[in-house]
């Protein structure tokens, strides 16, 4: 059992940030030898720091195994709280930078490709115009689950995501805060060179034998298309291409030879550039929320708040946007 500790004495005098950083590195690398190599110091120096931490805390932080080391329950507790402490320190430094220069700061963003190809460019343009010294880091993520481990690990400040209602029905992990920006919808689209782009009225059955591009079977786009064909007593169309890539779909649609289903916001913001048009066919209605996901009880820097303001402004402008090329 760990002994009672004077927190002020232990943290203020015995625990150093450098030692905690070394501890995190050992956890990440899975061995003291690998951590030493990564940090450019000797293995005995790493072992000594870990031994001193264990002596200070009065508990074993690692289980030693032939393959390396794994954190004990005490090590896991220190890892969880230590990461939060380091994150708060990083946010404090960001706050100081922002106070010194309100137009500067960094924002780490995760988003799927469909967001990067729709509202994110408009948000970035607005943010850069208002805060020209700000720096944005965007990393592609999957929305196949609603867990977003990068947020839990504090690698991202926020995630911009499309939330699949079928995944969201069981609720979100309690550590996450979700703010809906707007409800998107799925529409059918083609290029303005297509023969269908000149038609004001189209029956869905007429499109069954066209060249279709859809996302994989378990995704909202494809499920709604399949459901629409079932409602008129037909099997879904034979697909010419299956892909998640918005970039590939928009380029192929521009030829006028293909039809696809895509988010309405993506169509709106790419119609002019690629010559796309929404087809006059209503798919089964299913709200498709676009949301900001952040970690609860985490202090976000002021510049992240400025980015969120820009995202809300762009989302507001999406409401009631006229349909493209209709």
H or E element that contains 98: helix 73-100
Same domain for 190 and 274: yes
**Residue 264 shares a structural domain with residue 119:** no
In the numeric block, which tokens belong to residue 125? 């343009």
pLDDT above 60 (res 4):
no
Question: Has residue 91 been placed in a domain?
Answer: no
Q: Over the stretch 143-183, which tens digit does the pLDDT of each residue have?
A: 656 678 888 888 899 999 888 766 655 667 788 899 999 99
CB-based burial of residue 290 (10 Å sphere; 0-12 exposed, 13-18 middle, 19+ buried)? buried
Tell me the DSSP string of 27-87: HHHSSHHHHHHHHTS-HHHHHHHHHHHHHHHTS--EEEETTEEEE-HHHHHHHHHHHHHHH
Range of the domain at 46: 7-84
Q: What is the DSSP letter of 159?
A: E
| CA angle centred on 101, ends 96 and 102, rounded to 5° | 95
Q: At what angle do helices 17-29 and 73-100 cross, to 10 degrees?
A: 120
Q: 206: which residues sit within 8 A by CB, 6+ positions away? A: none
Looking at the structure, do residues 225 and 299 belong to the same domain, yes or no? no
Same domain, 12 and 150: no
Q: What CATH number is attached to the domain comprising 264? A: 3.40.190.10
pLDDT tens-digit readout, 57-75: 888 999 988 888 899 999 8
- Tell me whether residue 106 is in a domain: yes
Question: Residues 115, 65: one domain?
Answer: no
Residues 64 and 118 in one domain: no
Q: Please give the distance of CA 96 from its chain centroid, rounded to a whole number.
A: 26
Helix crossing, 302-318 with 119-130: angle to 10°? 130
- CA within 13 Å, CB half, 40: 0
Number of neighbours of residue 83 by Cβ within 10 angstroms: 16
- Residue 47 maps to a domain: yes
- Considering the domain architecture, whether residues 106 and 141 belong to the same structural domain is answered as yes
Q: What CA–CA distance (Å, rounded) separates 68 from 83?
A: 22
Which of these three, 29, 55, 84, is where a domain ends?
A: 84
Pairwise CA distance, residues 161 & 173, whole Å: 15
- pLDDT at residue 323, rounded to an integer: 43
| Mean pLDDT across 191-206 | 94
Between strands 259-263 and 186-191, the pairing is: antiparallel
Distance between CA atoms of residues 299 and 55, nearest Å: 32
- φ, ψ for residue 143, nearest 5 deg: -110, 25
| Domain containing residue 62: CATH number | 1.10.10.10
Confidence (pLDDT) at 86: 79
Q: Give the domain-ending residue among 53, 84, 115.
A: 84
Q: Domain for residue 226, yes or no?
A: yes
For residue 197, name the pLDDT band (cuts at 50, 70, 90): very high
- Measured from the Cβ of residue 167, the count of other Cβ atoms closer than 10 Å reads 13
Looking at residue 325, what is its pLDDT? 37
User: For residue 115, which of 182, 19, 41 has the smallest C-alpha distance?
Assistant: 182
Work out the mean pLDDT of the chain and round it to a whole number: 85
**Secondary structure E strands in 100-237:** 104-111, 133-140, 158-162, 176-184, 186-191, 212-214
Question: 32, 58, 84 — which closes off a domain?
Answer: 84
- Same domain assignment for residues 122 and 237: no
pLDDT for position 65: 85
CA–CA distance, 174 with 152 (Å, rounded to integer): 11
Q: Residue 228: how many CB atoms within 10 A of its CB?
A: 19
Is the residue at 283 inside a domain?
no
| Within a domain: 93 | no
| Contact of 227 with 302, CB cutoff 8 Å | no
How confident is the model over 230-249, as a mean pLDDT?
92
| 292 in the same domain as 178 | yes
Is the CB of residue 89 less than 8 Å from the CB of residue 31?
no
Q: pTM for this structure?
A: 0.66
- Whether residue 92 lies inside any domain: the answer is no
pLDDT for 326: 37
Same domain, 190 and 273: yes
Report how many domains make up the chain. Answer: 3
31 lies in the same domain as 78: yes
pLDDT exceeds cutoff 70 at 79: yes
d(CA 283, CA 220): 11
Do 292 and 179 fall within a single domain? Answer: yes
Structural domain contains residue 225: yes
């Amino acid at each position: 059992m760990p002994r009672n500790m004077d927190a002020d004495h232990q943290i203020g005098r015995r625990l150093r940030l450098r030692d905690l950083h070394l501890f995190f590195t050992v956890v990440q690398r899975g061995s003291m030898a690998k951590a030493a190599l990564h940090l450019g110091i000797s293995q005995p120096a790493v072992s000594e720091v870990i031994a001193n931490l264990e002596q200070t805390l009065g508990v074993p932080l690692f289980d030693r195994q032939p393959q390396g080391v794994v954190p004990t329950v005490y090590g896991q507790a220190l890892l969880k709280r230590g990461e939060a402490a380091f994150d708060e320190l990083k946010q404090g430094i960001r706050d100081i930078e922002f106070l010194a220069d309100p137009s500067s700061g960094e924002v780490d963003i995760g988003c799927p490709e469909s967001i990067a190809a729709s509202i994110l460019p408009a948000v970035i343009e607005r943010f850069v115009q208002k805060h020209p010294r700000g720096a944005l880091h965007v990393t592609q993520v999957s929305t196949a689950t609603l867990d977003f481990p990068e947020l839990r690990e504090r690698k991202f400040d926020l995630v911009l995501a499309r939330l699949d209602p079928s995944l969201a029905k069981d609720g979100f992990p309690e550590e996450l805060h979700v703010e809906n920006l707007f409800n998107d919808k799925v529409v059918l689209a083609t290029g303005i060179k297509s023969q269908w782009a000149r038609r004001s009225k189209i029956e869905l059955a007429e499109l069954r034998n066209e060249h279709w591009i859809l996302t994989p079977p378990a995704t909202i786009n494809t499920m709604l298309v399949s459901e629409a064909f079932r409602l008129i007593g037909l099997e879904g169309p034979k697909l010419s291409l299956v892909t998640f890539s918005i970039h590939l779909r928009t380029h192929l649609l521009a030829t006028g030879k293909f039809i696809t289903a895509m988010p309405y916001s993506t169509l709106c913001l790419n119609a002019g550039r690629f010559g796309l048009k929404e087809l006059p066919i209503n798919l089964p209605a299913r709200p498709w929320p676009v949301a900001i996901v952040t970690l609860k009880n985490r202090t976000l820097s002021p510049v992240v708040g400025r980015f969120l303001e820009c995202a809300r402004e762009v989302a507001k402008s999406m409401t009631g946007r006229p349909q493209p090329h209709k």
